[in-house]
Amino acid sequence: MGDIGTAGKSQDPTQLSAACSTLDADVTSAEALPAIPDPATAQHFSAALVDYGNGASDCTAGNDQMDPSLLQRAISEFDQGGTEISAATIAIKSLG
Protein backbone atom coordinates (compact mmCIF):
# COMPACT_ATOMS: atom_id res chain seq x y z
CA MET A 1 0.00 0.00 0.00
CA GLY A 2 2.86 2.37 0.72
CA ASP A 3 4.17 2.02 -2.82
CA ILE A 4 0.79 3.06 -4.22
CA GLY A 5 0.77 6.16 -2.02
CA THR A 6 4.32 7.05 -2.99
CA ALA A 7 3.57 6.60 -6.70
CA GLY A 8 0.41 8.66 -6.43
CA LYS A 9 2.14 11.49 -4.63
CA SER A 10 4.94 11.56 -7.19
CA GLN A 11 2.39 11.30 -10.04
CA ASP A 12 4.45 8.57 -11.69
CA PRO A 13 2.10 6.44 -13.83
CA THR A 14 4.69 3.73 -14.44
CA GLN A 15 5.41 3.36 -10.73
CA LEU A 16 1.68 3.46 -9.94
CA SER A 17 0.94 0.73 -12.48
CA ALA A 18 3.63 -1.49 -10.95
CA ALA A 19 2.39 -0.83 -7.40
CA CYS A 20 -1.23 -1.62 -8.32
CA SER A 21 -0.14 -4.84 -10.03
CA THR A 22 1.91 -5.85 -7.00
CA LEU A 23 -1.06 -5.30 -4.70
CA ASP A 24 -3.28 -7.35 -6.99
CA ALA A 25 -0.74 -10.21 -6.89
CA ASP A 26 -0.48 -9.92 -3.10
CA VAL A 27 -4.26 -10.18 -2.77
CA THR A 28 -4.28 -13.28 -4.97
CA SER A 29 -1.55 -14.82 -2.81
CA ALA A 30 -3.43 -14.00 0.39
CA GLU A 31 -6.63 -15.55 -0.98
CA ALA A 32 -4.73 -18.84 -1.39
CA LEU A 33 -3.73 -18.97 2.28
CA PRO A 34 -5.41 -21.50 4.59
CA ALA A 35 -8.72 -20.43 6.09
CA ILE A 36 -8.66 -18.41 9.30
CA PRO A 37 -10.37 -20.51 11.99
CA ASP A 38 -12.04 -17.63 13.85
CA PRO A 39 -15.23 -16.66 11.97
CA ALA A 40 -15.15 -12.95 12.87
CA THR A 41 -11.52 -12.55 11.93
CA ALA A 42 -12.04 -14.55 8.73
CA GLN A 43 -14.99 -12.37 7.71
CA HIS A 44 -13.08 -9.13 8.19
CA PHE A 45 -9.94 -10.46 6.49
CA SER A 46 -11.97 -11.72 3.53
CA ALA A 47 -13.77 -8.38 3.23
CA ALA A 48 -10.40 -6.58 3.30
CA LEU A 49 -9.11 -8.75 0.47
CA VAL A 50 -12.19 -7.95 -1.60
CA ASP A 51 -11.73 -4.24 -0.94
CA TYR A 52 -8.00 -4.33 -1.71
CA GLY A 53 -8.59 -6.42 -4.84
CA ASN A 54 -11.26 -4.03 -6.10
CA GLY A 55 -9.00 -1.12 -5.25
CA ALA A 56 -6.09 -2.64 -7.15
CA SER A 57 -8.31 -3.16 -10.21
CA ASP A 58 -9.66 0.38 -10.06
CA CYS A 59 -6.17 1.72 -9.46
CA THR A 60 -4.89 -0.04 -12.58
CA ALA A 61 -7.87 1.01 -14.69
CA GLY A 62 -7.80 4.57 -13.41
CA ASN A 63 -4.10 4.86 -14.11
CA ASP A 64 -4.37 3.29 -17.57
CA GLN A 65 -7.36 5.45 -18.53
CA MET A 66 -6.13 8.55 -16.68
CA ASP A 67 -9.53 8.56 -14.94
CA PRO A 68 -9.52 10.45 -11.63
CA SER A 69 -12.91 9.04 -10.59
CA LEU A 70 -11.56 5.46 -10.76
CA LEU A 71 -8.48 6.48 -8.82
CA GLN A 72 -10.68 8.13 -6.18
CA ARG A 73 -12.80 4.99 -5.98
CA ALA A 74 -9.58 2.95 -5.49
CA ILE A 75 -8.61 5.21 -2.59
CA SER A 76 -12.02 4.65 -0.99
CA GLU A 77 -11.67 0.89 -1.44
CA PHE A 78 -8.19 0.95 0.10
CA ASP A 79 -9.57 2.92 3.05
CA GLN A 80 -12.38 0.38 3.52
CA GLY A 81 -9.86 -2.46 3.31
CA GLY A 82 -7.85 -0.78 6.05
CA THR A 83 -10.97 -0.53 8.19
CA GLU A 84 -11.59 -4.26 7.71
CA ILE A 85 -7.98 -5.12 8.61
CA SER A 86 -8.34 -3.04 11.77
CA ALA A 87 -11.53 -4.93 12.64
CA ALA A 88 -9.74 -8.26 12.01
CA THR A 89 -6.93 -7.13 14.34
CA ILE A 90 -9.46 -6.28 17.05
CA ALA A 91 -11.11 -9.67 16.59
CA ILE A 92 -7.75 -11.42 16.96
CA LYS A 93 -6.91 -9.44 20.11
CA SER A 94 -10.27 -10.33 21.63
CA LEU A 95 -9.36 -14.03 21.43
CA GLY A 96 -7.09 -13.55 24.39
Report pLDDT digits (tens) over 46-92.
999 999 999 999 999 999 999 999 999 999 999 999 999 999 999 99
Query: What 8-state DSSP symbol labels residue 94?
Result: T
Q: What is the pTM of this model?
A: 0.92
51-78 as b/e: b if 16+ CB within 10 A: bbbbbbbbbbebbeeeeeebbebbbebb
Report pLDDT digits (tens) over 19-28.
999 999 999 9
Contact status, residue 56 vs residue 20, Cβ threshold 8 Å: yes
